[in-house]
Amino acid sequence: MASFAAAPPNTHAGGDDEALRTHGTIPMNHTTVYADERVNMEEYKNSVPWWKRVYQDSFTQMMLLSMQSFCGPAMSDAIAGESFCLGGGGLASAQTNNISNAITYVMLALVCFFGGPLVNKLGVKWALVIGAISFPIQGSSYYCNSKFGNQWYIIFGGFVSGVGTGCWYVAESGTIMSLAPSGARGKYLAFWIVARNLGQLVGGAINLSKNHVKGVEAGVTPDTYIAFLIIECLALPFALLISPLERVVRSDGTRILVSEKIGTKQEFKLIKTTMTSSLIILSAVWAMWSFFYSGTWSTYLGIYFSVRARALSSLISPFFCIVGCFGLGFILDMKSLSQRQRARVGLFVVVILNLGVYIWSIIMQAKFNANDPGRIDWDDALYPSAFLPYFFVQTTGPLSQSYMYWLLSSFATDAQANVRNGAAFRCLEAVGQAISYGMNTQTEASPMIGFCVSFGLMALATAPMIMLTNKTPDRIPADVILEGQEAFDAKNPDEHEVVIGKMDQK
């Protein structure tokens, strides 16, 4: 566990101490406590039971969060977001399914817009719990439609899912950007993305096992959704196991410093500050584009592929993503390059890979517009060339998101700022998804429109992202602040001891 999360010494993604004072019961190293609340690991091991140390470890918390992602959003993606892999959500029409998804992402965008104040008031744990409760509701809507044909519940389930998932996404994004030691952020983010795709892998296996017969075109069997629902329900206990962030100890001996709660009025003022910051403005188009592909690609899959071919796609698509995300994670954690250099290299890799996928997909769609291939099955000669663009976009899409969260965390000041930045990014991302699914409610239209819009958004996003990478600090600003405070404490030990005494009294 420690080796996975290993980070260079004296680095962590913390925050400005003056804004982040927290005091817990964990033994501290008094030579650095005022500067960065660094844990005296020897004393910590001697005074805290091993099970509690494991539970409070940042990697354990990341695994718990990833397991929720596995059980919740990944299963929801398998049922709804990747609904055409499942034959249009049971027996739902493609139009109903896209309307449901459009409503989901509209609500998700609204909740994410106000997500900073909401999650900072509720706390990360309870925001995750609300999200975990909402996942089975949407899953049950697809089961009821498949069993009883009531498509209105799918639309209602999309509404509920949008609200709950919005709470979950904001809490999740702030947490994943705060948990990792500075030098392990890329690998932590890769682990989270892989967990999401492993969920889709399991969902794909369930789907394929029940829908592998050639010629079946009616959609997935109703009992498929029972298996998904059982897994979705498991997200709740994992959410309840999340530790408050101020109790988490990173593998490099630092803690996540959480600022004191501020008033609701001040929280809402900070929404404007966050949304108008150069960080969010420069990344706005990228955020809208990052998941824009999902609506168009699900429509592409639903129009041109048989049920069992879609089932197979939901099984094999995550494999390359697992390799790609860890590959990008190691690039973003390279110690031989400065943070700004890694930001530039990461952007280049992500853009080039996406460029190749979009060119391929547009060429394939042009061929399909000229000659309709009908329903492509996995034993057809056309299957590999038609399916591979979808296969690769299931990697390049998550890579785009993983990279963006890494970049956002490179500007870290404190956990609350990570929540606000994550909420803003999720809000804009959800707007893009809502537009994407809204465009595809008219499924008789060619997916070419969606492919071209996605390609155009990526082109528009690239220039601002280059500007943002050029603004990326060579090191996380919080690290510089903390080291400066350490130097001050070393020169002024008497003042430092006064602070320690006040802390001990508390």
> Is residue 224's pLDDT more than 60?
yes
- Between the CA of residue 496 and those of 257, 340, 487, what are the distances in Å? 18, 33, 11
Amino acid identity for residue 493 in this structure: P
User: From CA 195, how far away is CA 125, in angstroms rounded?
Assistant: 19
At the topology level, CATH places domain 34-246+278-484 in Growth Hormone; Chain: A; (1.20.1250)
Position 236 scores a pLDDT of 93
Q: What is the pTM of this model?
A: 0.75
Looking at the DSSP bridge assignments, the partners of residue 360 are: none
Residue 92 near residue 156 (C-beta atoms within 8 A)? no
Domain regions of the chain by residue span: 34-246+278-484
CA atoms within 13 A on the CB side of 101: 35
> Is residue 242's pLDDT more than 80?
yes
In the predicted model, what is the mean pLDDT of the chain?
76
Task: Reduce the DSSP state of residue 103 to 3 states and report it.
Answer: helix
Tell me what the mean pLDDT of segment 393-411 comes to: 87
Position 463 scores a pLDDT of 95
User: From CA 368, how far away is CA 373, in angstroms rounded?
Assistant: 6
Question: Which tokens belong to 448?
Answer: 């070419």
Position 502 scores a pLDDT of 40
- Lowest pLDDT segment from 14-18, 202-206, 223-227, 395-399: 14-18
Position 26 scores a pLDDT of 39
Tell me what the mean pLDDT of segment 491-499 comes to: 53
CB crowding 254-284: b at 16 or more within 10 Å, else e: bbbbbbeeeeeeebeebbeebbebebbebbb
Span 49-75, pLDDT tens digits: 888 888 988 889 998 998 888 888 888
Span 440-461, pLDDT tens digits: 665 556 788 888 888 999 999 9
Residues 6+ apart with CB under 8 A from 237: none
> Is residue 345's pLDDT more than 60?
yes
Question: Which tokens belong to 161?
Answer: 């899912």
Span 93-106, pLDDT tens digits: 566 766 777 788 78
> Is residue 497's pLDDT more than 60?
no
Q: DSSP characters for 269-312?
A: HHHHHHHTSHHHHHHHHHHHHHTTHHHHHHHHHHHHB-HHHHHH
Q: Which of 439, 458, 461 is nearest to 448 (CA)?
A: 439
Tell me what the mean pLDDT of segment 332-342 comes to: 88
> Is residue 361's pLDDT more than 60?
yes
> Is residue 149's pLDDT more than 60?
yes
Q: DSSP characters for 219-269?
A: ---HHHHHHHHHHHHTHHHHHHTPPPGGG-B-TTS-B---PPP--HHHHHH
Position 257 scores a pLDDT of 62
Amino acid identity for residue 171 in this structure: A
Task: Give the percent of the chain with pLDDT over 90.
Answer: 13
Span 117-147, pLDDT tens digits: 888 778 888 999 999 999 898 888 888 887 7
Position 29 scores a pLDDT of 36
Question: Which tokens belong to 228?
Answer: 């998904």
CB crowding 144-155: b at 16 or more within 10 Å, else e: bbbeeeebebbb
Q: List % helix, strand, coil for the chain (3-state, nearest 5).
A: 75, 0, 25
Residue 288 near residue 428 (C-beta atoms within 8 A)? yes
Amino acid identity for residue 348 in this structure: F
Report residue 398's pLDDT band, with 50, 70 and 90 as the boundaries: confident
User: From CA 58, how far away is CA 75, in angstroms rounded?
Assistant: 25
> Is residue 219's pLDDT more than 60?
no
